[in-house]
Amino acid sequence: MEVSEDDLRLINALQIAPRISSSDAAGVLGVHATTLAARWDRLRDAGAAWTTAHLIGDPKQMCLALVDVDCEMRQRARVTAALAAMPEVVTVEEAASNRDLMLTVITPTLAHFSDTVVPQFKDIPGLLKYRTALCTRLHVGGYAWRLNVLDKAQQNALRVLAGPEASGSAPPAVVGAPLPQSHLDLIPFLAQDGRASAAEIARGLGRSPATVQRQLNRVLASQLLSFRCEIAQKYSGYPVTCQWFANVPPGQHDTAGAELRGFRNVRLAASTTGRTNFVIVMWLHSLADVMNAELALQQRIPGIELAESVVVLSAAKRVGWMLNPDSTATGAVVPSAGLGLDP
């Protein structure tokens, strides 16, 4: 399918305000509400764009792990499928480097990663070896990435109209008491469609729309969910993913993170444990931009050492959504067990 500039403007609007109504968006974009609704249905049905939501863990307890995996060449597809089926493994990518797969794993605690996730790795036939780097501080995440095709006035207007689920520059802190199970039952529907209405969820749960609307309002107000609008990478204008393993001088990590927030194509910047202490992920226009990005990083972050660059060949799963080889969404979702600050 073709993705037009008007399509990109709608996606950008939903990146800022994932659950904004078509009528409110129409007032900002200058397009009739029914046209916007039809446009979004077309994009979603084609897997070109989608909205999703996931629980946010306690930032003081949760564990974000970046795991490199080696596997038997003939069993790579089976290993990939087994890893993608794990709720804690939110992203699975095939790498052009000295590792076969790169995983983003998110768990409520480090103990959950060690006691629940790692034993499952050991039980996957064909998985030969894994290496883990743990995130000690997240500076930039994919939740903040934007197309930036709207002008500043439109972006500001959308922020005003957005509800409590607005996709901000950082995930909201966990507040309030835990939600009861009756409310948590809504989350798989919102993972499948971040714009799902109370009426749609009510049909799926066999509850009254009025009851689900009250529950949905409480879920949204709780700020326990992170909402985002994603785009198939092939349509983003940035079809190449590159990840750098770097070293940043001690005491300079926050400064480096602040500098990286000024790079519009950064999808992840995190301080980590391991052989290097910093990871950066960017979406780029082309392979030629890898060298340009490295030069920009070295110019703007004094003392940074880029130890290794890794180009991603393909992604099988992103933020719980299974992807086709061309980066479009299949429609299948594995709701995360936690807790999403992933790229």
**In the predicted model, is pLDDT for residue 176 greater than 80?**
no
> What is the pLDDT, as a whole number, of residue 335?
74
pLDDT, residue 315, reads 98
pLDDT of residue 206: 97
Share of the chain above pLDDT 90, in %: 83
pLDDT at 337 over 60: no
Of 106, 97, 100, 96, the closest CA to residue 124 belongs to 100
For 38-42, 165-169, 226-230, which range has the lowest pLDDT when averaged over its residues? Answer: 165-169
Task: Kindly tell me if the per-residue pLDDT of 170 is higher than 50.
Answer: no
Least confident of 45-54, 175-184, 246-255, 308-317: 175-184
- DSSP string computed for 13-66: HHHHSTT--HHHHHHHHTS-HHHHHHHHHHHHHTTSEEEEEEE---TTT-EEEE
Instruction: State mean pLDDT over 199-204.
Output: 97
CA–CA separation, 274 and 268 (whole Å): 17
Confidence label for 177 from pLDDT (cuts 50, 70 and 90): low
Query: For all residues of the chain together, what is the average pLDDT?
Result: 92
pLDDT (tens digit, 9 = 90+) per residue, 101-112? 999 999 989 999
What is the pLDDT confidence band of residue 142, given thresholds at 50, 70 and 90? confident
Query: Measuring CA to CA, which residue among 323, 318, 324 is closest to residue 336?
Result: 318
Residue with tokens 């990518």: 93
Residue 338: its pLDDT value, please? Answer: 46
Does residue 174 carry a pLDDT above 70?
A: no
Q: In 10 A of CB 200, how many CB atoms?
A: 15
